């Protein structure tokens, strides 16, 4: 199932299948999709994914694959029967690896998931990059890796909201921008260093806003999701 018109994807950051399924069911109609990551998938596997997907929302399977091309292609093929809406790989794996991922996803035909690349994690800043031997700003590295991802046949990238404008200018309107590190005004920033409000990110042109704790940690997650989606109406026109 491909993403819908609502750009909000709720990150179900839990290893508890019952909790994830309850959230998925309660959020239907208030968000455009769900995200499950390696924590959940490593704990619960394909069966856990299927239970979440039964809620009827598109699911972004956030595994951040990063290995040699054949292994990543095999990893993509292994999850195609689950029919995720989006899968992702690390752009740092290089062009051959990204092309292998795109080719493997294409084997799903009409149910092919979007394949996107992780550029620079939103928990990283310039100092963190320098510690790994990469000079320049996060924006420099994001633009470099995003261009490589497009050249390698991927559909888009995961990026910080602060990179939306330069990415749009460089890569055009059709390249998908999936943006984590989204926090409503006044929310706890937690471990994110490059954040923005949903309204700001949407107005700049983000395709998908990944929002976790402001929804899942709320006393009433459905109400929190409704409020965030409602706040986006002016930006969405």
202 within 8 A of 232, measured Cβ to Cβ? yes
- Say which range, 102-111, 119-128, 219-228, has the weakest mean pLDDT: 119-128
- Rounded to whole angstroms, how far apart are CA atoms 175 and 8? 18
Of 201 and 75, more confident: 75
Confidence class for position 5, pLDDT limits 50, 70, 90: confident
* Rg of the chain taking only CA atoms, in angstroms: 17
Q: What is the pLDDT of residues 133-188, one digit of tens each?
A: 898 888 899 999 999 999 999 999 998 888 899 999 999 999 999 998 787 765 55
Domains of the chain: residue spans and CATH = 8-236 (3.20.20.70)
pLDDT of 86 > 90? The answer is yes
11 within 8 A of 60, measured Cβ to Cβ? no
Share of the chain above pLDDT 70, in %: 92
Q: What is the pLDDT of residues 29-41, one digit of tens each?
A: 999 999 999 999 9
Per 3-state DSSP, the chain is made up of helix, strand and coil in percentages (nearest 5) of: 50, 15, 35
Residues involved in catalysis = 64
Section 64-72 average pLDDT: 98
């Amino acid at each position: 199932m491909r993403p819908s018109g609502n750009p909000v994807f709720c990150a179900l950051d839990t290893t508890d299948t019952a909790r994830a399924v309850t959230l998925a069911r309660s959020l239907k109609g208030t968000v455009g999709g769900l995200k499950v990551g390696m924590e959940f998938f490593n704990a619960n596997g394909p069966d856990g994914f299927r239970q979440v997907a039964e809620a009827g929302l598109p699911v972004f399977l956030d595994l951040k694959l990063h290995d040699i091309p054949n292994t990543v292609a095999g990893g993509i093929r292994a999850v195609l029967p689950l029919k995720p809406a989006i899968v992702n790989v690390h752009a740092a794996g290089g062009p051959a690896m990204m092309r292998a991922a795109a080719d493997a996803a294409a084997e799903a035909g009409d149910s092919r998931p979007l394949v996107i690349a992780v550029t620079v994690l939103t928990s990283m800043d310039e100092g963190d990059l320098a510690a790994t031997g990469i000079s320049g700003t996060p924006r420099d590295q994001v633009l470099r890796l995003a261009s490589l991802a497009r050249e390698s046949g991927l559909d888009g990238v995961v990026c910080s909201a602060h990179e939306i404008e330069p990415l749009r200018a460089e890569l055009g309107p059709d390249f998908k921008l999936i943006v984590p590190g989204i926090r409503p005004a006044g929310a706890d920033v937690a471990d994110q260093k490059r954040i923005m409000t949903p309204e700001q990110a949407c107005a700049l042109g983000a395709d998908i806003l990944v929002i976790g704790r402001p929804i899942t940690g709320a006393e009433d997650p459905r109400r929190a999701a409704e409020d965030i989606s409602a706040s986006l109406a002016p930006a969405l026109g």
